[in-house]
Amino acid sequence: MAKVKKQPRPKAQTPKGFCDYFGAEVAERTEMLTKIAGVYHRYGFDALETSAVETVEALGKFLPDVDRPNEGVFAWEEDNDWLALRYDLTAPLARVAAQYRNDLPSPYRRYAMGPVWRNEKPGPGRFRQFYQCDADTVGASSVAADAEICAMLSDTLEVVGIPRGDYVVRVNNRKVLNGVMEVAGVLDPSDPDRFASERGIVLRAIDKLDRLGVDGVRALLGEGRKDDSGDFTKGAGLSAEQAEIVMGFMDAKRDTGTATVARLRELVTGSKVGGDGVAELETIAELLDAGGYSSDRIEIDPSVVRGLGYYTGPVFEAELTFEVTDEKGRPRNFGSVSGGGRYDDLVKRFTGQEVPATGVSIGVDRLLAALRAKGRLDTVAAGPVVVTVMDRARMADYQAMVAELRNNGIRAEVYLGNPKNFGNQLKYADKRNSPAAVIAGGDEFDAGKVQIKDLILGAEIAKNATLEEWKDRPSQYEVPRDQMVAKLREILDSQS
């Protein structure tokens, strides 16, 4: 009889491009999302939660690679239809705005938070699953809606801990870029689909300016570029003259917003759509200035284009301007943590009618990484108070203690491992980063008392104090049982 082949054990490893997140990391994200939601809510936006799965048809042709319907997304076929994990939170909003258009107010102002998935090549700091935090206004054609989004983004960054001077919200208009491409001969107003592929490459190339530099972008505008790994990216195939017109647009930023707008107006001379875009930028600048958002917070910058193809007007991006050290020890600017813009044609795909919309998306994980890099996050979260177990027969009494602590708002747990070795219980409390431990055996129960050990103070004394100082600074206290909660509050308050 043939021997049955033993099945190999599965590998205990995270799939490539994905991460596991533990207690402190999850708590940090939750706190940040709460702060962001507070700003969005204050601006009058309502929460929306959509399905994590959409039809590929609903996601549309706005992915990094558009040759195949499921390129760039995690997709599968079911009942002769293609489904995919959502690529962002904007395409689901467009579907919702179309599906519930008779029930929603107009304009509809919503915010959404949650994970999105991208089937792209992972790299340092680039994951296939990450959190986004979006806010959008659907149904408002006025660029006042775009200006409001920029102001809200500025306020949000400051609320989560990025002070003024450490960030800038940069604003541009895709209509201006379309005007430049019309002047360069890669946009035909009478045939919008002509040169569509070339324009897509141009947009993505400009969007990579901070990462690839001028030479890298110029290569992508021409024949293409090979990266350090040997992978080749096809270029837009522009002539040298056409490429220089586009490069001139990227170099149009001047010392003031007024001067930048004037230069942009020169570049789009002869293009109606370009002239419209410049006028919209002027209006946005006026509205922001009226609200107190000067160029130290929000500025006009032609290099911002955003890579996705559905943007139709103003686009914006939040960049953190402080330096961090990369994996090779080199200083660099942290870079972009948020972006968005106007996408008036996205809902039209469902309804056949143009529905104006504008919004912004914050990369929560990148923003957390930025705060961590600046030392503005408490990377070690406090654990629960641990009620140790000295006598298994008194487990009901220990459970009564922990219930009392929880009912008084103190995070606490009973040690549920093997209580035979008391030292292991304190090691467990240390590993949990517990602020204190409650200790009670037969003698304490008989006397109606408990021992409370300040684990944080004890660790500091052991690390820094001499033997004499140890005697003068006790880290363990014996208190009556009915004073357990009060003493723990006193210890926790002193630690904070």
CA proximity to 186, closest of 205, 204, 200, 175:
200
Distances (CA, A) of 426 to 53, 229, 403, 405: 45, 50, 20, 19
Q: Is 167 annotated as a binding residue?
A: no
Q: DSSP 3-state assignment of 449? A: strand
* DSSP classification of residue 393: G
Residue 168 CA to residue 296 CA, distance in Å, equals 7
Q: Is 132 annotated as a binding residue?
A: yes
Q: DSSP 3-state assignment of 319? A: strand
Which H or E element spans position 244?
Answer: helix 240-250
Q: Is 131 annotated as a binding residue?
A: no
Residue 203 CA to residue 341 CA, distance in Å, equals 14
Instruction: Show contacts of 404-408: CB within 8 Å, 24+ apart.
Output: 404/484, 404/485, 405/438, 405/484, 405/485, 405/488, 408/485, 408/489
Which H or E element spans position 331?
Answer: strand 331-342
Q: Is 90 annotated as a binding residue?
A: yes
Pairing type for strands 81-85 and 108-117 reads: unpaired
Q: Is 129 annotated as a binding residue?
A: no
Residue 31 CA to residue 72 CA, distance in Å, equals 30
Q: Is 103 annotated as a binding residue?
A: no
Q: Is 79 annotated as a binding residue?
A: no
Assigned token pair, 358: 């504008």
Q: DSSP 3-state assignment of 115? A: strand
Q: Is 353 annotated as a binding residue?
A: no
**Do 365 and 131 meet the contact criterion of CB atoms below 8 Å apart?**
yes
Assigned token pair, 490: 């006193």
Tell me the backbone φ, ψ of residue 273, rounded to 5 degrees.
-65, -35
| Residues forming a β-bridge with 109 | 137
Q: Is 310 annotated as a binding residue?
A: yes
**Do 109 and 44 meet the contact criterion of CB atoms below 8 Å apart?**
yes
**Do 95 and 121 meet the contact criterion of CB atoms below 8 Å apart?**
no
Instruction: Show contacts of 21-29: CB within 8 Å, 24+ apart.
Output: 23/381, 24/379, 24/380, 24/381, 25/368, 27/381, 28/368, 28/377, 28/381, 29/131, 29/364, 29/365, 29/368
CA proximity to 244, closest of 198, 316, 185, 295:
185
Q: Which residues are known binding-site members for L-histidine?
A: 88-90, 118, 132, 136, 306, 310-311
Annotated binding site: 88-90, 118, 132, 136, 306, 310-311
